[in-house]
Chains A and B, each alone.
Chain A
């Protein structure tokens, strides 16, 4: 049987103009000077096949070429050489709600969004009640989309996106949208696809989701496939890559936890034996939610009696950026080793994680109070992922509150409106 997706020696280069000239005047006055470009190779001659029924994940750091690959598969970009062929019909969810219009009602948007997927009005008419039931929006079919909350919009968009039945589904980070109960529905849908043996290509940063759903994962870095295999194997390669990357980034940064000598991990007078991350229920996990609790559980073994020492930790983003760091000394907590062979356990509890979706690593350092003697340094000591809940963007959850005040024309009587 022919594979559903055939990619062979696919190469994509972007020409980024150093000076963008789209006006005629510029072209006329600068006709002699050749346009200057910077070439960016997004994909380096990559090849792979996806057989029918496979759930393929694509992972990699930002800028690795995974979105470009997806866009070429969906025929949005054209390859420079090689080819990406899809044998059969495909539907793409590169972003939810593409083509939706806020001025139209939910029902009209279903017809419009459905048409973008290749479904006709007649086909959709028989399905529309089910769509609204699934999206939990039965009472809002005739409301304009602009009056919907972002959660409602996303629920409608997801429900429309899964309407077209095709040979191949191509998805970019749209997993699990909306509130917790709708998220479960999304995951149920993906589990159903997996049971039904649909062919799916999924790009995601969420390694937990990739491990859970994918039969096989491709790891891309700088436009090349650096790992291709069973999900668990490739995600652990990716974790290692993130750690190496963080290590490399650390060398260039004068940070508190920077090692004097990268090859020296410390004297091991006190050794960090194990580190695990616990959720609110005390279970060990690497997946957390924004606003959820996380406890860092560390077990130490003293090889000599060093007396008071300091335990420090830092949280970094996958690309090495330092996000937060603290230590027992700064927080006025005393840790002491009294005798060799003593086992010490230290916990650091975060009540509410202020981080948004993404991959993070934790570094742990053990050193003396003056900071001149390093006992142990684990980099990374642990890594974790914050689940994608949709909504806010960036790294940090701000817990902000909006306030809107409006004043109308004074002559018609001032009206002040405040919303919290």
Chain B
């Protein structure tokens, strides 16, 4: 046991770190750790849920789409393709849903304390990123155990696709979180858009199936960033020789989803910056 030697009548302040970057990073970390902790406090199993939930989700998806509906018949390692897509998709929906409420749900903080407002959006994404990391680790362990992992040097490209996903999510998060303060209908609209994106991005079916069904439909789906990211992740992570990339389907049009991602990010950034001064008065 330590003996307190300080005078409990005086509490001297601590100078802040000079680096604003370090301070912001620290705040993002504290806020996202808190959000993650709060999700699991009070439940008997606690953090075990963060592992059990995705395992159940994977199991159900595999059962329904791969075994019952036979969605990926004739496709190389379809169960693994499904896992890769589900992990990316879960990250996307969790992050955007969290972000919707990142500003509107923090009225108290915004009205009573000053810190850069984008930190709320960044930390809501970071807590989704935590879940994503756990899920990715689970997928790696599962596939490695089954001996179905075929990583090559090309797999490093996955980092770029994940980065693209993060940029897309950040852009949408900035856009959704700031607009939601003023238009509460956005929550319902986004649910519908998410549903359309889920089926329009070939998450639970191979992109090949869409392509075989209708070229027109495939072009339409292919230019959306989620479909492109998922298809390309499958390509580089599973087996480049046996799983086709998005470029092999839609060719040079692949620049469209990439430009869209950058465009959404810039738009989100601009809208957020424009609306930030009005948050405190509107909440």
A residues neighboring B (CB under 8 Å): 14, 22-25, 27, 71, 74-78, 89, 92, 94-95, 98-99, 101, 103-104, 108, 111-112, 115-121, 123-124, 127, 129-131, 133-134, 136, 138, 159, 162-166, 185, 188-189, 192
A24 contacts B14, C-beta separation under 8 Å: no
| Given the contacts A108-B34, A164-B13, A165-B14, A134 and B113 also touching, CB distance less than 8 Å | no
| Given the contacts A23-B184, A74-B114, A165 and B30 also touching, CB distance less than 8 Å | no
Q: A83 vs B30: C-alpha distance in the bound complex, in angstroms?
A: 32
Which size class do B's interface residues fall under? 35 or more
A130 contacts B183, C-beta separation under 8 Å: no
6 CB contacts below 8 A, A to B, read A22-B182, A23-B183, A76-B112, A108-B34, A164-B16, A165-B14
| Closest residue on chain A to residue B277 by CB atoms | A78
B216 interface residue (CB < 8 Å to A)? no
Residues of B within 8 A of A123 (CB): 14, 17
Q: A124 vs B26: C-alpha distance in the bound complex, in angstroms?
A: 12
Given contacts A103-B41, A165-B15, 16 further A-B contacts (CB under 8 A): A24-B183, A27-B183, A77-B280, A77-B281, A92-B113, A98-B113, A104-B38, A116-B113, A118-B23, A119-B17, A121-B30, A123-B14, A133-B8, A162-B11, A165-B16, A166-B13
* Count of A-B residue pairs with CB < 8 Å: 119
B4 contacts A133, C-beta separation under 8 Å: yes
Shortest A405–chain B CB gap in Å is 25
Residues of A within 8 A of B4 (CB): 129, 133, 138
Q: Which of B26, B30, B114 contacts A75 (CB 8 A)?
A: B114
| Closest residue on chain A to residue B30 by CB atoms | A115
Q: A268 vs B41: C-alpha distance in the bound complex, in angstroms?
A: 73
B213 interface residue (CB < 8 Å to A)? no
B281 contacts A94, C-beta separation under 8 Å: no
| Given the contacts A101-B34, A103-B42, A115 and B15 also touching, CB distance less than 8 Å | no
B17 contacts A120, C-beta separation under 8 Å: yes
Q: A24 vs B281: C-alpha distance in the bound complex, in angstroms?
A: 20
Residues of A within 8 A of B27 (CB): 115-116, 118
Q: Which of B181-223 contact A (CB under 8 A)?
A: 182-185, 189
B22 interface residue (CB < 8 Å to A)? yes
B16 contacts A166, C-beta separation under 8 Å: yes
Q: Which of A95, A120, A129 contacts B6 (CB 8 A)?
A: A129
Residues of A within 8 A of B12 (CB): 165
A95 contacts B112, C-beta separation under 8 Å: yes
| Given the contacts A23-B185, A76-B111, A76-B280, A118 and B17 also touching, CB distance less than 8 Å | yes
